[in-house]
Amino acid sequence: MSDRPLEIKDFAPRELRERFAELGLPRYRADQVATWVYRHGIEDPERMSDLPATLRARLGRDFRLRALEMVASRRAGDGTELLLLRAGDGALVETVVIPEERRTTLCVSTQVGCPLRCSFCATGALGFTRNLRTAEIVDQVLRARENLPEGRTLTNVVFMGMGEPLLNLPAVLEAIRILTDPRGLAFAPRRITVSTAGVVPRIGELLERTRVNLAVSLHATRDEVRDELVPLNRRFPLEVLLRTLEEHPEVGRRRPVFFEYTLMRGINDSDADAGRLVRILRRLPSKLNLIPMNPHPDAPYRPPEPERVEAFLARLAEARVTVTLRRPRGVDIDAACGQLALRSVRRRAAMPA
């Protein structure tokens, strides 16, 4: 026996069987536990009525079945909901539920803070605390699911919360296995998107080991600008990033790459930028998500005037690029892209009890 309790949600159903076998438990018991935890959302062993009492007692004693507790939640005017969750060591994690007409997307975090320090992103300003473990990524989905109003189900999961998923790839891959396993949370891989700022050496592994969508945070069309916005670009410049994507056999053979482009006034929003962007997008099967900068106190950038956004969009549409303008969601509660910085915690800390 290991000295640490086994965290059930660190293991995809198949691995959990092997762990159970190593502990002298029948493999099918692992499947029963996975069914309770993922299908029924039951984490109290005493309620797992098809398990023998001895195993229920052992689960309660030697295993952990819950990695995150809900601390608080806030709902924005547009229905977006920010959940603040606490890990066993007290670390705080934010996850965002984004209800739309025909789908409900969950935006999960992969790290506490982020080491990349992109100059426009509030999470970067927070600094980096630690990687989340698999169970802590999966539990964001379970806490969000429990908290949904009647009649809603989570349809999509995007790895676009706090942190850089490809700097925590082993935990992210295992979480994706649980999310997509029929005995796990049973999401279709095309309902899942992993976003990266461009950790070039890890992109291949994600593409080869999963069938999920890849999103790449581009934000600039020239290295001088991208070096400033995404400091990681100094290690993996644009041309290296684009060539890696272009030359990977999985890109092109299947779904397009989703490029994220945060529009910032006077920084990356000119017609010349739009022209260069078109040339980049034409190099590989891709789609573009344009996001006007969500302003926050930790960054000096602003969104362009609405007319500039329209003009930028028009240039892309003219070139027949597939582009979606993302409406900001949850801005009034700091839940929008790049605003996840545990601001709720800071505010609460500043408030008298």
Task: Give the residue numbers marked as catalytic.
Answer: 94, 337
Q: Quick one: which of 156, 195, 221, 244 contacts ligand SAH (CB under 6 A)?
A: 195
Round to whole Å and give the CA distance between 288 and 280.
11
Strand-pairing partners, residue 254, are none
Task: Kindly tell me which of 180 and 217 has the beta carbon lying closer to ligand SAH.
Answer: 217
Residue number with CB closer to ligand SAH (36 or 258): 258
Q: Is residue 267 within 8 Å of residue 301, measured between CB atoms?
A: yes
How near is the Cβ of 196 to ligand SAH at its closest, in Å? Answer: 5
Spatial distance between the Cα atoms of 90 and 3, rounded to a whole number of angstroms: 21
CB-CB contact of 227 with 234 (8 Å): yes
Residue 269 lies near ligand SAH (rule: CB under 6 A): no
Within positions 154 to 173, which residues make up the interface with ligand SAH, using CB under 6 A?
Answer: 160, 164
User: Do the beta carbons of residue 67 and residue 88 sit within 8 Å?
Assistant: yes
- The residue length of the chain stands at 353
Nearer to ligand SAH, 25 or 200 (CB): 200
Of the two residues 13 and 330, which places its CB atom closer to ligand SAH in the complex?
330
Phi/psi at 7 (5° precision): -90, 110
What is the per-residue binding string for ligand SAH in 287-316, x denoting contact by CB under 6 A?
A: ----x-xx-x--------------------
State in angstroms the smallest separation of the CB of 313 from ligand SAH: 16
**Structure tokens, 86:** 């606490």
Q: Which region, judged by CB under 6 A, interacts with ligand SAH, from 62-70, 91-99, 113-121, 341-349?
A: 113-121
Site for ligand SAH contains 112 (CB under 6 A): no
As beta bridge partners, residue 286 has 257
Site for ligand SAH in 201-220 (CB under 6 A): 217
Q: Three-class SS string for 155-182? A: CEEEECCCCCHHHHHHHHHHHHHHHHCC
Tell me whether residue 196 or residue 344 sits nearer to ligand SAH (CB atom).
196
Q: Which of 338, 342, 343, 344 binds ligand SAH (CB under 6 A)?
A: 338
Cα distance between residue 181 and residue 145, in whole Å: 17
CA-based R_g, the chain, Å = 21
Site string for ligand SAH, 237-256 (x = CB under 6 A): --------------------
Cβ-based burial of 52 (10 A; exposed 0-12, middle 13-18, buried ≥19):
exposed
Stretches 38-46, 195-203, 233-241, 341-349: which one binds ligand SAH (CB under 6 A)? 195-203
Choices 92-100, 194-202, 269-277, 279-287 (CB under 6 A): range interacting with ligand SAH: 194-202
Bridge partners, residue 317, by sequence? none
Among 37, 106, 121, 333, indicate the residue that binds ligand SAH (CB under 6 A). Answer: 121
- Cα–Cα distance, 108 to 95 (Å, whole number): 5
User: Exposed e or buried b for every residue in 314-351, given b needs 16+ CB within 10 A?
Assistant: ebbeeeebebeeeebbbbebbbbbbbbbbbbeeeeeee
Binding residues for ligand SAH, rule CB under 6 A, total 17
C-beta of 101: minimal distance to ligand SAH in Å? 22
> For binding to ligand SAH (CB under 6 A), which residues are involved?
118, 120-121, 160, 164, 195-197, 217, 260, 262, 291, 293-294, 296, 337-338
